[in-house]
């Protein structure tokens, strides 16, 4: 049976990990390559780099980080953040990324998803969707959650699937950072509406939250950042817990 995936996410700014990773014995706690290697050793099923570098001229730094990481760890690596050109995708894939995650650029031009899926294959095109409850429905936000789009989340998920996205990374803006658990409602609704894998993100604070997102929310994978960085929970601990609850997991 296909295993549910546990995916740690590292926020990277100008080649440095932000939100301080708190591993013991790291020579350089801000080095994303070292952090990535540590997650790999701990049993991460995949890894996500979210590049939050604002300045355009410093955006190439992530390429170097990806190259160095891909030479050392042998699990799938996804890179997201500010990707809006075919050239960005090509450069990241050539550097050793396996998938790229597209967010704002997908909303601004769905053709970008279509073209990149056709060019590079659906398997490497992840569409990240940031959502927030707005009245009786969930609305899609872009620009790192700053800009509402007026687009309803479920119909958007179906559209990106149709355009060729191979996976959806769904972040609930309301639960993100709260540690009160993932938004199970929208996770399940989207997971049931599309035929591609859905990664739940935003809100992980304890073991039960992961279980809820994977089982009740029907997510195929869970992404978490701070709970792993600050060593509140180890990946191993999460996996053993999920396994004991009957979830298929790779140990």
Partner 1 sequence: MITVVDYGMGNLRSVVKAFEHVGAEVEVVSTAKAVDKATALVVPGVGAFDDCMTTLGKANLDEAINRHIFHGKPYLGICLGHQILFEAHEESRKKIPGLGIFPGTVRRFPSDLKVPHMGWNQIKIYRKKCPLLRGVEDGEMFYFVHSYYTEPLDSRIVATRTDYGVNFTSMIWDGSLLYSVQFHPEKSQNAGLQILKNYTELYG
Catalytic residues, by residue number, are 11, 130
Segment lying near partner 1 (by CB under 8 A), choices 23-31, 121-129, 170-178, 207-215 = 121-129
Q: Is 166 in the site for partner 1 (CB under 8 A)?
A: yes
Q: Is 196 in the site for partner 1 (CB under 8 A)?
A: yes
Q: Is 197 in the site for partner 1 (CB under 8 A)?
A: yes
Helices 110-120 and 86-95 cross at an angle (nearest 10°) of: 40
Q: Is 170 in the site for partner 1 (CB under 8 A)?
A: no
Q: Is 76 in the site for partner 1 (CB under 8 A)?
A: yes
Instruction: Please select the residue that binds partner 1; options are 108, 123, 234, 244, rule is CB under 8 A.
Output: 123
Q: What track of x and - describes contact with partner 1 for positions 125 through 154 (by CB under 8 A)?
A: ------------------------------
**How do beta strands 99-102 and 198-201 pair?**
unpaired
Q: Judge contact between 69 and 98, C-beta under 8 A.
A: no
Run of H or E residues at 159: helix 153-163
Task: Dig out the tokens for 134 from the structure.
Answer: 């707005």
Query: In the complex with partner 1, which residue's Cβ is closer, 45 or 51?
Result: 45
Q: Is 74 in the site for partner 1 (CB under 8 A)?
A: yes
The per-residue DSSP string of 149-199 comes to EEEEHHHHHHHHHHHT-SEEEEEETTTTTT-S---HHHHHHHHHH-SS-EE
CA angle at 121 for the pair 117 and 126, rounded to the nearest 5°: 60
Smallest distance from the beta carbon of 96 to partner 1, in angstroms? Answer: 5
Which residues inside 31-50 make contact with partner 1, applying CB under 8 A?
Answer: 40, 45
Q: Is 96 in the site for partner 1 (CB under 8 A)?
A: yes
CA dihedral 245, 248, 249, 251 (to 10 degrees): 90
Instruction: Please select the residue that binds partner 1; options are 11, 51, 167, 183, rule is CB under 8 A.
Output: 167
- CA–CA distance, 77 with 100 (Å, rounded to integer): 9
Q: Is 1 in the site for partner 1 (CB under 8 A)?
A: yes
- CA–CA distance, 232 with 226 (Å, rounded to integer): 8
Burial of 149 (0-12, 13-18, 19+ CB in 10 A): middle
Closest CA to 42 of 251, 240, 236, 239: 236
Q: What track of x and - describes contact with partner 1 for positions 171 through 190 (by CB under 8 A)?
A: --------------------
Q: How many amino acids of this chain bind partner 1 (CB under 8 A)?
A: 31
Q: What is the contact surface with partner 1 in residues (CB under 8 A)? A: 1-5, 40, 45, 70-72, 74-76, 93-96, 98, 120-124, 166-167, 195-197, 220-221, 250
């Amino acid at each position: 049976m296909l295993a549910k995936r546990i995916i740690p996410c590292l926020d990277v700014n100008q080649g440095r990990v932000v939100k301080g990773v708190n591993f013991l014995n790291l020579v350089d706690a801000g080095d994303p390559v070292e952090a990535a290697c540590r997650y790999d050793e701990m049993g991460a099923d995949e890894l996500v780099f979210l590049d939050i570098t604002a300045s355009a001229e410093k955006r190439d730094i992530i390429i170097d980080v990806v190259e160095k990481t891909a030479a050392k760890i042998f699990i799938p690596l996804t890179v997201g953040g500010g990707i809006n050109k075919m050239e960005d995708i090509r450069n990241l894939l050539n550097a050793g990324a396996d998938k790229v995650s597209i967010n704002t650029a997908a909303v601004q031009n769905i053709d970008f998803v279509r073209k990149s899926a056709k060019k590079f294959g659906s398997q490497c095109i992840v569409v990240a969707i940031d959502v927030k409850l707005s009245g009786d429905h969930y609305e899609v936000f872009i620009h790192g959650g700053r800009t509402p789009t007026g687009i309803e989340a479920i119909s958007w998920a179906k559209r990106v699937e149709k355009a060729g996205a191979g996976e959806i990374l769904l972040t609930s803006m309301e639960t993100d950072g709260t540690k009160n658990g993932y938004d199970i409602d929208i996770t399940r609704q989207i997971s049931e509406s599309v035929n591609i894998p859905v990664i739940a993100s935003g809100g992980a604070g304890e073991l039960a939250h992961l279980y809820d997102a994977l089982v009740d929310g029907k997510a195929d994978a869970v992404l978490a950042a701070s709970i792993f960085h600050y060593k509140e929970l180890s990946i191993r601990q999460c996996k053993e817990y999920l396994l004991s609850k009957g979830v298929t997991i790779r140990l």
